[in-house]
Amino acid sequence: MSCASTSTRGRSSALKKGEVPIHEPGLEALIRKNAEAGRLRFTTDAAEGVRHGLFQLIAVGTPPDEDGSADLKYVLAVARTIGEHLSEYRVVIDKSTVPVGTADKVKAEIAQTLARRGSHAEFDIVSNPEFLKEGAAIGDFMKPDRVIVGTDNPRVSELMRALYEPFTRNHDRLIVMDLRSAELTKYAANAMLATKISFMNELANIAERVGADIEKVRVGIGSDPRIGYSFIYPGTGYGGSCFPKDVQALIRSSNTVGHKPALLEAVESVNERQKAFLVGKIERHFKGDLKGRTFALWGLAFKPNTDDMREAPSRTIMEKLWAAGATLRAYDPVASEEARRVFGPRGTLRSAPRPTRRPRAPTLVIATEWQEFRSPDFDRLKANLKQPAIFDGRNLYDPQLLKRFGFSYYAVGRGQS
């Protein structure tokens, strides 16, 4: 099997040494183990990769274009590269999240490249989107909920079934469908999850205004098996490399075929508003006077167990506080280096110690629900905060408990203690 990704030569060299350029629990050990066993090799030689395996996986980024549509230049570049080196039958598997119809474009790109070479090498295209959560990707791959395979060739579906058989042995989770349905399934899944998050954040804003506790509402509706508890946690909005990009791309694709996706547009609008929600609470607490104030910020990554800050709510919070003249002392278990890469050196952003140590700031803001933030020493925390106020964007604490400790506590959909 050969997998084409957007890794640079530098990253490929690092991977050869067992150095992983991203934070994913268990990934570094897994790569090292398989590389040492000879089951995994890294190369920047495309010809070697195409010669290597029957299955050719395209796993490159599809960043949003200026209009929100998915940019397919990397996907099509890999397709051309495969066509330039193809000499015998291969199954080309698209793992990237792509708009409906991309498989046709990949097929045409490879076919045109082969035609220019005068080659008659055969190949098939498969849409096989991934459903891996950042921070839990290895477990999701080893024990998948489902494996979606889009193909127009029954022979290929059997090859794919054999490929995934070690991971679906206990229960056949492989679902075969046509190419376009497989492509839409990935977007539909992410858009559905994003919709649940925005829906709960909309309810949280209502709860706050009518005197209800959104956490109690969440338990009440989550107990209904038709709804469930997954992705109904209110907060500061969704971020990362998938939900924002995929919702935008689906909106754009829908508009392109003449349908106005009103619900998806609302999902995106609610999310953008929610990212600034916590800053509004901070401004009201300090009566709009944030200039010269210092805030401790716990959490930079868009979610726990990753260092990914793409579209992270923390970035909106930081930028708005900076715009108001504030200084931040930020702490994240793994994303501090990523923050320095994103924002560069600046006097208004300093590293903060671990939560078990003194925050050295008047006020605390929480943007990511890391496990180590859930049970701090509140007596010590209060003693170290010059103004004992906590702005909790992830509803980590019990408002009544913090009231007894003497904090001004602001959360999402729970009002002020």
Catalytic site positions: 242
Angle at 366 between CA 368 and CA 237, to 5 degrees: 55
Dist. CA 175–CA 158, nearest whole Å: 11
For the CA atoms of 274, 279, 280, 283, the dihedral, rounded to the nearest 10 degrees, stands at 180
**Residue located via tokens 């996907």:** 75
Question: Edge-to-edge strand order for the sheet containing 408-410?
Answer: 349-351, 327-331, 294-298, 363-366, 389-392, 408-410
Polymer length in residues for the chain: 417
DSSP assignment letter at 12: H
Conformation bin of residue 196: beta by default, left when phi > 0, alpha when psi is -120 to 50: alpha
Nearest by Cα to 296 from 327, 335, 334: 327
In contact, 348 and 327? CB cutoff 8 Å: yes
Report the C-alpha gap between 275 and 91 in whole angstroms.
42
Residues in Cβ contact with 198 at an 8 Å cutoff, skipping those fewer than 6 apart = 237, 238, 266, 267, 268, 270, 271, 274
Contact 83, 110 (CB under 8 A): yes
- Per-residue DSSP letter, 371: G
**Of 196, 186, 199, 200, the residue nearest 242 (C-alpha):** 186
Strand, helix or coil at 55?
Answer: strand
HSE-CB at 176 with a 13 A cutoff on CA atoms is: 13
